[in-house]
Amino acid sequence: MRILYIEDEKLLAEAVIHLLNKSDIMVDWVSDGETGLELALKSNYDCIVLDIMLPKLSGIDILKTIRDRRIKTPVIMLSALGEVDDKVRGLEQGADDYLGKPFKAAELIARINALCRRPPLQATKIYTFGDLTFDANNRTLNGQALTSKEADLMEILIKNPNQVHKKSALLAYIWGNEAITEDNYVEVYISYLRKKLRELKSSVQIKSLRGLGYKLIEKQNV
């Protein structure tokens, strides 16, 4: 999602942009009305967040112009609390929502999401191999819950089954290459996973290759 944010207070803008980015909202920020209007007319945003007090061209004027041009992008107006006339004029002019300053970023995010009707999306990360289904979001293996480290390990193995994963690579990936020399971490968790595979009576197993590493295979294969 991409929004246009027209705001002249630099510090506020930076803070807000940072938080919006964290919520997967890309922000184009401009600090004066003229540039803002130009972008609003030219580009295709999912939403426009518009401060009312702006240099060169007021938020109300921008709103009026884009609505005159039949651009229906949702607009959220911002203004200092108490500037009642602005609020009224904004809504009359076709703003979709209004937020008084100061506001919580969380509320702005909620309103942007509400206006854009974007269901908070989460990529489904589900992998299968043989009779195994690993759900990386829920950290379950055929429904059975895994701990985080177990899940980390299973995710690597099942993403590339039938392929050897070096112990050092697994270690680096899961424990972060903090100069840990303890291969035993990996061995312990491989052991835990094997136990769970046995419990599930899976046809899949973890094969170890001495001196090399591990790979996920189906029992009949070698």
Partner DNA sequence: ACTTTTCTTAAAAAATCTTAAAAAGATTCA
Partner DNA sequence: TGAATCTTTTTAAGATTTTTTAAGAAAAGT
Binding footprint of DNA on the chain (CB under 7 A): 70, 145, 147-150, 167, 175, 180, 182-185, 187-192, 194-195, 208-212, 214
Nearer to DNA, 101 or 207 (CB): 207
Selected from 2, 10, 22, 69, the binder of its own copies by CB under 8 A is 22
Work out whether strand 75-80 and strand 97-101 pair parallel, antiparallel, or are unpaired: parallel
137 phi/psi in degrees, rounded to 5: -70, -45
Nearer to its own copies, 35 or 163 (CB): 163
Please count the residues of this chain forming the interface with its own copies, following the rule CB under 8 A: 53
Q: Is 148 in the site for its own copies (CB under 8 A)?
A: yes
The dihedral through the CA atoms of 125, 129, 133, 138 has a sign that is: negative
Q: Is 179 in the site for its own copies (CB under 8 A)?
A: no
Footprint of its own copies on 36-75 (CB under 8 A): none
Nearest to 66, CA basis, from 54, 55, 84, 50 = 50
Here the tokens at position 121 are 């999306």
Q: Given the rule CB under 8 A, which residues bind its own copies? A: 19, 22-23, 82, 84-85, 87-88, 91-92, 95-98, 104-107, 109-111, 114-115, 117, 119-122, 137-140, 143, 145, 147-148, 159-160, 163-164, 172-178, 209-212, 215, 222
